[in-house]
Amino acid sequence: MSKPRPLSAQALATLIQGVEEKGVTAKVVTSRVIITIMPPPSVEPANPADLIDP
């Protein structure tokens, strides 16, 4: 596995701008560099049982 490369401030800004335009929330924790992307509240979470063909 290759070593992760650090994100530049510009790359991070572009990433966040891209997800904001789609209506999702991006949460960045810089101490551990964790990026959490969540759908907007209007999107209903998928129920795994609904995805199974009866």
- Helices of type H across the chain: 9-21
Lookup result for tokens 């070593």? 3
Residues 3-19 pLDDT 10s = 666 667 777 777 777 66
Q: Please give the mean pLDDT across all residues of the chain.
A: 67
Residues 26-32 have a mean pLDDT of 63
Q: Is the pTM of this model over 0.95?
A: no
Residue 12, C-beta contacts closer than 8 angstroms, at least 6 positions apart: 28
CA–CA separation, 5 vs 2, rounded Å? 9
CA–CA separation, 46 vs 10, rounded Å? 33
- Give, as one character, the DSSP assignment of residue 26: E
Q: How confident is the model at residue 24, as a pLDDT? A: 62
Q: Residue 1: is its pLDDT beyond 70?
A: no
Q: How confident is the model at residue 2, as a pLDDT? A: 64
23 confidence band (pLDDT: 50, 70, 90): low
Single-letter code of the amino acid located at 24: V
